[in-house]
Amino acid sequence: MRVLSRGSGNRRDDAAHRPGASLRCLGLIAAITVGSGRAEGQVAIEVDVAPAEAAAADTTAPAAPEDHTPAVPAAEEAALTPEAAARQQIEQMAAQYEPMLMRLLQDDLELLRTLHGDLPVEARRAIVAAGEEAVKKGALAFSEAMNTPHVVPAPPQGVAGGFFGAVGRAFGLPIPEEPARRAEGAEKAEARKKLIDPCQLVSDAVAASLVEQIGEEHGADFRDQLSRREKRSRAATVRRLVGILDDELFLSAKQREAIEAAIGEKWNEGLAMALDHQMEINGRKIYPGLPYERVLPHLTPAQQSKLGDGEQSREIFGSNRQGRLQSKFFRRANLAQQAERDPWWFE
């Protein structure tokens, strides 16, 4: 009898669950039991067992080497601590973000060349070098931010502040902040500090280098253009979002105008997410990042009912700072055109 038992973990084995299988299993157990008492055995039973399994069955036999796992990758894997593996992943992802950020740098350089087409050669080289350094730094920072799990704090259980909190609230007294909440707040603030906007980092590096090379006045000019470009991009995002709502809700011209203004006043990067990540839950479209509270007052009751209150979109991707950062990065990177390196900068 040939037994090829491959460790199937917790998988249910069809053969073992067929009718009669238990009886056959019993037979197998019996045969092995008999085998173990071979000194007194009366019946000849020949058991042809594969080496590894036989070794497993016979505890006295030396352990057979397992041949199904390649030795080298296992060793490498074992050598990587969880921290090192996480770092490796961050670096791999950073390498993927670098070309995207490089396109953003090219955008900035294009604008700069339009504004200051007479930059001296040394200044150009220095600006590009600063920009490229920022690209590397930004890609790494972005990758780190994306690999940091965003933890949505669980809603507080029980009464905030405990008994004294409840009494204080009843009498309108100030409620002392709990140490746990303070710690949580500090932790969140710390995590927030770590989030670096890679797009801003690159533009800032180019602007700073420009100031260093040719003076504050030109740097201000460049910064002003960057800020106007960003404003235009945001306005276009808002217009597009309102257009999508219009398709859905038949907004009037006045409503479009009012909603555009309302959303534009409270810009958040998560808005761009609403353009590309619309979802439908229970037959209703939801727009992550859309400030529903700013849109709803401008709608008729029928339109409000169709749009809903956005409750389901609150905690969806794009509603936290990490998501917004990501949203901005991809909003900019998707618009940036792949262009060949402009030799003018590298003369």
Partner 1 sequence: MVVRMMPSTTAISQAGAWRMALVVVSLLGALLAGRPLQGSDDTVGEEKEAQQQQNQFQTIALDQQMQQMLGDGSGRGIEVVRTKAMAHLELEIDSLDEACALSDAQRDKLTLAARLEAAAAMQLFEAFQRRYSGRTVDFQTREGQETWQQFHRELNEIQRATSRSGRARHLPGRIVGSLLDDRQRDAWRAEATSRRASQWRRHMDGGLAMLESSVGMTDRQHEAIVALLLEDPPRIDMGRAREMFGDNNPFLCWYALSRLDQDRLEAIFDARQWKRVGNIVRQGEQWQPQIDTLKLTEE
Q: Is 341 in the site for partner 1 (CB under 8 A)?
A: no
Nearer to partner 1, 81 or 114 (CB): 114
- Binders of partner 1 in range 104-143 (CB under 8 A): 107, 109-115, 117
Say if residues 241 and 273 touch (Cβ distance below 8 Å).
no
Burial class (CB in 10 A: 0-12, 13-18, 19+), 298: buried
| Selected range binding partner 1 among 93-101, 194-202, 243-251, 320-328, rule: CB under 8 A | 243-251
Establish if 346 lies at the interface with partner 1 (CB under 8 A): no
Q: Are 329 and 143 in contact (CB under 8 A)?
A: no
Q: Select from 10, 60, 157, 337 the one that contacts partner 1 (CB under 8 A).
A: 337
* x-marked contacts with partner 1 along 52-91 as a string, rule CB under 8 A: --xx--x--x------------------------------
Match 């920072």 to its residue by tokens.
Answer: 141
- How far, in Å, are 128, 155, 254 from residue 164 at the CA level? 60, 19, 51
Residue 15's φ and ψ, nearest 5 degrees, are -60, -40
Q: From the list 87, 126, 175, 225, which residue makes contact with partner 1 (rule: CB under 8 A)?
A: 225
CB of 137 to partner 1, least distance (A): 22
Give the DSSP per-residue string, 152-194.
-PPPPPS-TTHHHHHHHHHTTPPPPPPHHHHHHHHHHHHHHHH
Q: What 3-state class would DSSP assign to 342?
A: coil
Q: Would you give the DSSP letter of residue 286?
A: E
Instruction: Please measure the distance between the N-terminal and C-terminal CA atoms of the chain and give it in whole angstroms.
Output: 78
**160-168, 185-193, 222-230, 319-327 -> range binding partner 1 (CB under 8 A):** 222-230
Which helix (H) or strand (E) segment holds residue 139: the answer is helix 121-146
Positions 188 through 217 that interact with partner 1 (CB under 8 A): none
Residue 295 C-beta: closest distance to partner 1, Å: 15
Selected binder of partner 1 within 9, 10, 44, 81 (CB under 8 A): 44
Q: Which of residues 248-277 bind partner 1 (CB under 8 A)?
A: 249-253, 256
CB of 235 to partner 1, least distance (A): 8
Quote the least distance from Cβ 95 to partner 1, whole Å: 23
Pairwise CA distance, residues 334 & 135, whole Å = 16
9, 20, 70, 179: which one binds partner 1 (CB under 8 A) = 20
Q: Which CB atom, from 74 or from 235, has the smaller least distance to partner 1?
A: 235
The DSSP H or E segment spanning 254 is: helix 253-265
Q: Does 278 bind partner 1 (CB under 8 A)?
A: no
Any residues with CB less than 8 A from the CB of 122 and at least 6 apart, and which?
A: 213
What tokens does 271 get? 């808005």
| 155 near partner 1 (CB under 8 A) | no
